Amino acid sequence: MKFIKKLCLIFLMIAFISLPAKANSVPLEVLGSCFIKELSPEKALIIVDAPPTDEGYVSHLYIKLQGAVVEGLRIDSIAIEARDMQFNPPTDWDKKLRPRDVSAVSFEARLLEDDINGALKNYELKDKRWSNFKFDLRNGKIVATAVYELPMLLFKLNVLAKLTGELEVVDENKIYLKNYRLYADGFRLPEQATQELVEKVQPLIDFSDFIFPVRLDSVSNDDKAIFIRTKDKPQPFDSGLKWTYPRSLGNNF
């Protein structure tokens, strides 16, 4: 009887040794905290199909952010779906989180006219003669206006400058202004002078240093917001592994 017990114990030990070792994983909240540190959103939802491995691999990820900040500009809504991501080692995430390899990324973002105007209001130019900046969206076109104080011999002259144009995607990760025209007190400035001025501020938005390597397909706008998208739309998926910020949101965001 003892022999049978010992024999069973041997086989049990063999079976235990033969089982593949379970890979260690990184808690989802560690990954989520890195996105919060990077993009400073007001709210966030992160869904994964499995926790990140201790080597930084995530097979399927969905992120929804509200009020994230990119290049100092508040973006009202960002959604990202990515597959087969190999991030840098988790030991380096406290410094910077970056995917080294991603098989596919879907992305969409919405920027509000009000947020752009808020950023313009808080932006301080070195040339204090500029004032009253305003950004106006008009269903496929944009109009930006500002007042320039021109010193004269005996008085000061305020000149109303107006820039009109449309938005386009360039190099799959930048937003440029195209078909632009520049006016001063209603008079259109020469094309060469306009081009020299506008090219100094291109691109208007640059995603080349964004946390994910996005390949943008389109940019459009109505009279309230700008919409930036990849060809495929990011979609949330069913999973028991969800993380929200703030935590009090639960899974309702």
pLDDT in tens, 52-73: 999 999 999 999 999 999 888 9
Which of 1-5, 22-26, 91-95, 232-236 comes out lowest in average pLDDT? 1-5
Residue 5 has pLDDT above 80, yes or no: no
Say which residue, 112 or 156, is predicted with more confidence: 112
Band (pLDDT 50/70/90 cuts) for residue 234 is very high
Over residues 34-53, mean pLDDT: 94
Residue 116 has pLDDT above 80, yes or no: yes
56 in Cβ contact with 77 (< 8 Å)? no
- Predicted local confidence at residue 122, as pLDDT: 74
Residue 36 has pLDDT above 70, yes or no: yes
CA distances from 26 to 56, 109, 142, 158 (A): 8, 28, 45, 59
Q: Where do we find the tokens 């380096």?
A: 92
Residue 153 has pLDDT above 60, yes or no: no
Band (pLDDT 50/70/90 cuts) for residue 14 is very low
Residues with Cβ < 8 Å from 174, sequence gap 6 or more?
203, 205, 206, 207, 208, 216
Residues with Cβ < 8 Å from 103, sequence gap 6 or more?
83, 84, 85
Band (pLDDT 50/70/90 cuts) for residue 80 is very high
Percent of the chain at pLDDT > 90 equals: 60
Residue 201 has pLDDT above 70, yes or no: yes
The 3 state secondary structure assigned to 30-97 is HHHHHHHHHHCCCEEEEEECCCCECCCEEEEEEEEEEEEEECCEEEEEEEEEEEEEEECCHHHCCCCC
Band (pLDDT 50/70/90 cuts) for residue 185 is confident
- Predicted local confidence at residue 147, as pLDDT: 87
- Rounded distance, CA 228 to CA 184, Å? 30
Percent of the chain at pLDDT > 70 equals: 83
Omega of the bond leading into 20 within 30 degrees of 0 (cis): no
Residues with Cβ < 8 Å from 244, sequence gap 6 or more?
43, 44, 45, 46, 250, 251, 253
Residue 102 has pLDDT above 70, yes or no: yes
Residue 152 has pLDDT above 80, yes or no: no
